[in-house]
Amino acid sequence: MAIQITGDDAADKVLTDDPFALLLGMLLDQQYPMEHAFRGPAKLLDRFGTLDPATIAAANPEEFAALCSVTPAVHRFPGSMATKIQAVARDVVDIYGGDASRIWTEAADGSDLVKRVMALSGFGKQKAQIFTALVAKQLGVHPQGWEKAVGDYSLDGFRSVADVVDPESLGKVRAYKKEKKAAAKG
């Protein structure tokens, strides 16, 4: 299944073809519009030449941060995100031998998948649940009990990036998030 989150065919192809790219997109999806966050891995690939977790983890931190800061930056906060990218790359190398797909292909069930994602640098419970829903809905990987493990993110509707499949669904997710933010303020 082809992922269509960014509105940019080349960036979406990177997400579709590279499991680590998809993980990085989710990592970058904070305090930044989601389609821009998920374009970050393609920017990294263009600038760095690879998305190999071992190569990213071993890169000089200052040089890597500078690369992430080139306009258009990989993220709104390129320096701090460069540090987080290298940290999650180290996790993928140390825990999964550099193969990010093992995070979900070797998960015993949905709860285990959420726990595996939460164990990565930069991922809390909510982000881990959304990523698990993304893997289930977009990649068709359905570990037993994934719906229970991700809660409301498993429901039909437009709640998160897991539900984005085209520009129309992106707009619906944005509207949902705006509504939730307004309700939290009111």
- pLDDT tens for 18-38 read 999 999 999 999 988 899 999
In a domain, 4, yes or no: no
Which pLDDT score, from 0 to 100, does residue 140 have? 87
Nearest to 38 by CA among 71, 67, 5, 65: 5
131 pLDDT above the threshold of 90: yes
> Does 64 reside within a domain?
yes
Classify residue 3: in a domain, yes or no: no
The whole-model pTM stands at: 0.94
- Percent of the chain residues topping a pLDDT of 70: 99
Per residue in 141-168, pLDDT (tens digit) is 888 888 899 988 888 889 899 999 888 9
Q: Is residue 98 part of a domain?
A: yes
CATH code, domain carrying 175: 1.10.340.30
Q: What pLDDT, on the 0 to 100 scale, is given for residue 61? A: 98
Residue 34 lies in a domain: yes
Of 7-16, 39-48, 83-92, 156-165, give the lowest mean pLDDT range. 156-165
Domain that holds residue 93: 9-185
Q: Please compute, for residue 32, the number of CA atoms within 13 A of its CA located in the half-sphere on the CB side.
A: 20
**1, part of any domain:** no
Please compute the mean of the pLDDT values over residues 80-104 and round it to a whole number.
97
- pLDDT for residue 59: 98
Average pLDDT score over the chain: 93
Number of domains composing the chain: 1
Nearest CA among 97, 94, 128 for reference residue 111: 128
In a domain, 71, yes or no: yes
Angle among Cα 1, 54, 115 to the nearest 5 degrees reads 60
Within a domain: 22:
yes
pLDDT in tens, 101-124: 999 999 999 999 999 999 999 999
